[in-house]
Amino acid sequence: MDLTLRVWRQPSPDAPGSFETYPAEDIDEHASLLEMLDIVNDRLTEQGVEPIAFDSDCREGICGTCGVMVDGKAHGPMENTAACQVHLFNYRDGDTITLEPWRARGFPLRKDLIVDRSAFDEIISAGGYVSVNTGSAPEANLTPVDKGTADLAFDAAACIGCGACVAACPNGAAHLFTSAKLSQLNMLPQGQPERYARTQRMVTIMEEYFGSCTNYGECQAACPQDISIDFIAMMNKDYRKSKFRNRRAS
Protein backbone atom coordinates (compact mmCIF):
# COMPACT_ATOMS: atom_id res chain seq x y z
CA MET A 1 0.00 0.00 0.00
CA ASP A 2 1.04 3.57 -0.65
CA LEU A 3 -0.20 5.98 1.99
CA THR A 4 0.51 9.55 3.07
CA LEU A 5 1.15 10.43 6.70
CA ARG A 6 0.29 13.84 8.11
CA VAL A 7 1.96 13.89 11.52
CA TRP A 8 2.13 16.51 14.26
CA ARG A 9 5.78 17.37 14.93
CA GLN A 10 6.80 19.36 17.98
CA PRO A 11 10.35 19.00 19.30
CA SER A 12 9.56 20.12 22.86
CA PRO A 13 6.69 21.49 24.98
CA ASP A 14 7.83 25.08 24.55
CA ALA A 15 8.65 24.90 20.84
CA PRO A 16 6.05 25.61 18.14
CA GLY A 17 4.54 22.59 16.41
CA SER A 18 3.07 21.89 13.00
CA PHE A 19 1.87 19.08 10.78
CA GLU A 20 4.48 17.50 8.52
CA THR A 21 3.74 15.23 5.57
CA TYR A 22 5.64 11.99 4.90
CA PRO A 23 5.18 9.27 2.29
CA ALA A 24 4.48 5.76 3.57
CA GLU A 25 5.05 3.74 0.44
CA ASP A 26 5.04 0.00 -0.16
CA ILE A 27 3.64 -0.88 3.28
CA ASP A 28 2.08 -4.30 3.85
CA GLU A 29 -1.68 -3.98 4.34
CA HIS A 30 -1.46 -6.31 7.34
CA ALA A 31 0.93 -3.96 9.16
CA SER A 32 -0.42 -2.02 12.14
CA LEU A 33 -0.28 1.75 12.47
CA LEU A 34 2.71 1.46 14.78
CA GLU A 35 4.53 -0.92 12.48
CA MET A 36 3.99 1.58 9.68
CA LEU A 37 5.49 4.30 11.90
CA ASP A 38 8.49 2.05 12.56
CA ILE A 39 9.07 1.66 8.81
CA VAL A 40 8.66 5.39 8.15
CA ASN A 41 11.04 6.19 11.03
CA ASP A 42 13.68 3.83 9.63
CA ARG A 43 13.47 5.64 6.31
CA LEU A 44 13.61 9.07 7.99
CA THR A 45 16.69 8.00 9.95
CA GLU A 46 18.41 6.91 6.73
CA GLN A 47 17.64 10.36 5.31
CA GLY A 48 19.09 12.09 8.36
CA VAL A 49 15.67 13.30 9.55
CA GLU A 50 14.62 13.14 13.21
CA PRO A 51 12.26 10.14 13.56
CA ILE A 52 8.69 10.61 14.78
CA ALA A 53 8.48 10.23 18.56
CA PHE A 54 5.58 8.10 19.81
CA ASP A 55 4.81 5.89 22.81
CA SER A 56 4.32 2.13 22.63
CA ASP A 57 5.07 -0.96 24.65
CA CYS A 58 3.08 -4.18 24.49
CA ARG A 59 1.50 -3.54 21.06
CA GLU A 60 -1.28 -5.93 22.02
CA GLY A 61 -3.90 -3.44 23.22
CA ILE A 62 -3.10 -4.09 26.88
CA CYS A 63 -0.77 -1.36 28.16
CA GLY A 64 -2.48 1.72 26.69
CA THR A 65 0.72 3.65 25.94
CA CYS A 66 0.06 3.79 22.19
CA GLY A 67 -2.70 6.38 22.49
CA VAL A 68 -2.83 8.90 19.63
CA MET A 69 -5.50 10.71 17.67
CA VAL A 70 -5.96 9.08 14.25
CA ASP A 71 -7.90 11.20 11.77
CA GLY A 72 -9.43 13.09 14.67
CA LYS A 73 -10.54 10.00 16.57
CA ALA A 74 -8.96 8.58 19.70
CA HIS A 75 -7.09 5.40 18.68
CA GLY A 76 -8.54 5.52 15.17
CA PRO A 77 -11.61 4.41 13.25
CA MET A 78 -12.13 0.96 14.79
CA GLU A 79 -14.40 0.52 17.82
CA ASN A 80 -12.97 -1.00 21.02
CA THR A 81 -9.50 -1.07 19.50
CA ALA A 82 -6.24 0.52 20.66
CA ALA A 83 -4.07 2.29 18.08
CA CYS A 84 -1.55 -0.55 18.06
CA GLN A 85 -4.29 -2.94 16.92
CA VAL A 86 -5.47 -0.83 13.97
CA HIS A 87 -4.23 -2.42 10.76
CA LEU A 88 -3.82 -0.83 7.38
CA PHE A 89 -6.31 -3.10 5.63
CA ASN A 90 -8.91 -0.77 7.16
CA TYR A 91 -7.66 1.91 4.75
CA ARG A 92 -7.51 2.19 0.99
CA ASP A 93 -4.44 2.62 -1.17
CA GLY A 94 -3.65 6.32 -1.50
CA ASP A 95 -5.35 7.39 1.74
CA THR A 96 -3.94 10.14 3.93
CA ILE A 97 -3.72 9.35 7.67
CA THR A 98 -3.45 12.20 10.17
CA LEU A 99 -1.74 11.48 13.49
CA GLU A 100 -1.64 13.87 16.43
CA PRO A 101 -1.22 13.61 20.22
CA TRP A 102 -3.93 13.67 22.86
CA ARG A 103 -5.19 17.23 23.26
CA ALA A 104 -6.03 17.88 26.91
CA ARG A 105 -4.86 20.22 29.65
CA GLY A 106 -4.15 17.26 31.91
CA PHE A 107 -1.86 15.69 29.30
CA PRO A 108 0.89 18.23 28.53
CA LEU A 109 2.79 17.45 25.35
CA ARG A 110 6.37 16.22 25.59
CA LYS A 111 7.37 15.66 21.97
CA ASP A 112 5.57 14.90 18.69
CA LEU A 113 2.93 12.27 19.58
CA ILE A 114 4.04 11.78 23.19
CA VAL A 115 2.14 13.35 26.09
CA ASP A 116 2.73 13.27 29.84
CA ARG A 117 0.06 11.09 31.48
CA SER A 118 1.55 11.19 34.97
CA ALA A 119 -1.66 12.84 36.23
CA PHE A 120 -3.22 9.38 35.98
CA ASP A 121 -0.45 8.04 38.20
CA GLU A 122 -1.24 10.69 40.81
CA ILE A 123 -4.91 9.71 40.80
CA ILE A 124 -3.98 6.07 41.36
CA SER A 125 -1.49 7.02 44.07
CA ALA A 126 -4.24 8.89 45.90
CA GLY A 127 -6.29 5.77 46.55
CA GLY A 128 -6.16 3.09 43.88
CA TYR A 129 -5.20 0.38 46.32
CA VAL A 130 -6.34 -1.51 49.43
CA SER A 131 -4.22 -0.63 52.46
CA VAL A 132 -6.28 -1.85 55.41
CA ASN A 133 -4.06 -3.75 57.83
CA THR A 134 -5.86 -7.04 58.37
CA GLY A 135 -2.88 -9.23 59.18
CA SER A 136 -1.90 -12.05 56.88
CA ALA A 137 -3.91 -12.35 53.69
CA PRO A 138 -6.77 -14.86 54.01
CA GLU A 139 -7.52 -17.42 51.37
CA ALA A 140 -9.26 -15.55 48.54
CA ASN A 141 -12.08 -18.08 48.25
CA LEU A 142 -13.08 -17.45 51.87
CA THR A 143 -14.54 -14.05 50.90
CA PRO A 144 -17.77 -14.62 48.98
CA VAL A 145 -18.42 -12.34 46.02
CA ASP A 146 -21.50 -12.87 43.90
CA LYS A 147 -20.83 -13.40 40.20
CA GLY A 148 -22.67 -10.29 39.03
CA THR A 149 -20.58 -8.04 41.25
CA ALA A 150 -17.37 -9.82 40.34
CA ASP A 151 -18.09 -9.51 36.63
CA LEU A 152 -18.88 -5.80 36.94
CA ALA A 153 -15.71 -5.15 38.95
CA PHE A 154 -13.74 -7.03 36.31
CA ASP A 155 -15.28 -4.85 33.59
CA ALA A 156 -14.03 -1.78 35.45
CA ALA A 157 -10.61 -3.33 35.97
CA ALA A 158 -10.25 -3.75 32.19
CA CYS A 159 -9.28 -0.05 31.95
CA ILE A 160 -5.79 0.21 30.43
CA GLY A 161 -5.27 3.86 31.38
CA CYS A 162 -4.63 5.00 27.81
CA GLY A 163 -6.33 8.38 28.20
CA ALA A 164 -8.61 8.06 25.16
CA CYS A 165 -11.56 9.05 27.35
CA VAL A 166 -9.86 12.33 28.22
CA ALA A 167 -8.78 13.02 24.64
CA ALA A 168 -12.29 12.38 23.27
CA CYS A 169 -14.11 14.40 25.94
CA PRO A 170 -14.92 18.01 24.90
CA ASN A 171 -14.24 19.01 28.52
CA GLY A 172 -11.03 17.01 28.87
CA ALA A 173 -12.59 15.11 31.78
CA ALA A 174 -11.09 11.96 33.33
CA HIS A 175 -14.24 10.71 35.02
CA LEU A 176 -14.40 7.42 33.11
CA PHE A 177 -10.81 6.51 34.00
CA THR A 178 -11.18 7.53 37.65
CA SER A 179 -14.55 5.84 38.09
CA ALA A 180 -13.23 2.61 36.58
CA LYS A 181 -10.24 2.56 38.92
CA LEU A 182 -12.54 3.28 41.87
CA SER A 183 -15.22 0.76 40.95
CA GLN A 184 -12.84 -2.15 40.56
CA LEU A 185 -12.11 -1.77 44.29
CA ASN A 186 -15.26 -0.17 45.69
CA MET A 187 -17.50 -2.96 44.47
CA LEU A 188 -15.58 -5.75 46.19
CA PRO A 189 -15.63 -6.65 49.92
CA GLN A 190 -11.90 -5.98 50.24
CA GLY A 191 -12.41 -2.38 49.14
CA GLN A 192 -15.27 -1.47 51.48
CA PRO A 193 -13.35 -0.19 54.56
CA GLU A 194 -11.68 2.60 52.54
CA ARG A 195 -14.44 3.09 49.98
CA TYR A 196 -15.49 6.64 50.73
CA ALA A 197 -12.10 7.99 51.76
CA ARG A 198 -10.62 6.47 48.61
CA THR A 199 -13.29 8.08 46.46
CA GLN A 200 -12.80 11.52 47.94
CA ARG A 201 -9.00 11.41 47.59
CA MET A 202 -9.00 10.22 43.99
CA VAL A 203 -11.72 12.61 42.83
CA THR A 204 -9.93 15.53 44.50
CA ILE A 205 -6.74 14.82 42.57
CA MET A 206 -8.69 14.26 39.35
CA GLU A 207 -10.30 17.68 39.63
CA GLU A 208 -6.88 19.34 39.88
CA TYR A 209 -5.91 18.22 36.38
CA PHE A 210 -9.03 17.52 34.36
CA GLY A 211 -12.32 19.12 33.40
CA SER A 212 -15.87 18.39 34.55
CA CYS A 213 -18.12 15.68 33.18
CA THR A 214 -21.27 16.90 31.42
CA ASN A 215 -22.37 13.51 30.09
CA TYR A 216 -21.39 13.84 26.44
CA GLY A 217 -20.68 10.10 26.38
CA GLU A 218 -17.69 10.48 24.04
CA CYS A 219 -15.48 8.78 26.61
CA GLN A 220 -17.36 5.49 26.39
CA ALA A 221 -17.40 5.64 22.59
CA ALA A 222 -13.62 6.14 22.44
CA CYS A 223 -12.69 3.61 25.13
CA PRO A 224 -10.86 0.61 23.62
CA GLN A 225 -12.22 -1.56 26.44
CA ASP A 226 -15.83 -0.34 26.04
CA ILE A 227 -16.05 0.70 29.69
CA SER A 228 -19.52 1.98 30.55
CA ILE A 229 -20.28 5.49 31.78
CA ASP A 230 -22.45 3.79 34.41
CA PHE A 231 -19.30 3.70 36.51
CA ILE A 232 -19.26 7.51 36.51
CA ALA A 233 -22.71 7.50 38.09
CA MET A 234 -21.46 5.08 40.75
CA MET A 235 -18.46 7.31 41.46
CA ASN A 236 -20.61 10.42 41.75
CA LYS A 237 -22.93 8.66 44.18
CA ASP A 238 -20.02 7.50 46.35
CA TYR A 239 -18.47 10.96 46.24
CA ARG A 240 -21.67 12.57 47.53
CA LYS A 241 -21.81 10.00 50.31
CA SER A 242 -18.16 10.63 51.17
CA LYS A 243 -18.77 14.36 51.59
CA PHE A 244 -21.78 13.69 53.83
CA ARG A 245 -19.84 11.21 55.97
CA ASN A 246 -16.95 13.62 56.45
CA ARG A 247 -19.26 16.46 57.37
CA ARG A 248 -21.09 14.29 59.89
CA ALA A 249 -17.81 13.08 61.38
CA SER A 250 -16.53 16.63 61.83
Full-prediction pTM beyond 0.75? yes
Contact call for residues 27 and 18 (beta carbons, < 8 A): no
What is the pLDDT at residue 154? 96
Domain boundaries, the chain: 3-111, 118-249
118-249 CATH fold: Fumarate Reductase Iron-sulfur Protein; Chain B, domain 2 (1.10.1060)
Amino acid (one-letter) located at 64: G
What is the pLDDT at residue 125? 96
Residue 141 has pLDDT above 90, yes or no: no
What is the pLDDT at residue 98? 98
Which tens digits make up the pLDDT trace of 5-52?
999 999 999 999 999 999 999 999 999 999 999 999 999 999 999 999
Domains 3-111 and 118-249 share a fold: no
Q: CATH code for 3-111?
A: 3.10.20.30
Which of 198, 229, 199, 228 has its CA nearest to residue 213?
Answer: 229
b/e sequence 37-59, b meaning 16+ C-beta within 10 Å: bbbbbeeeeeeeeeebbbbbeeb
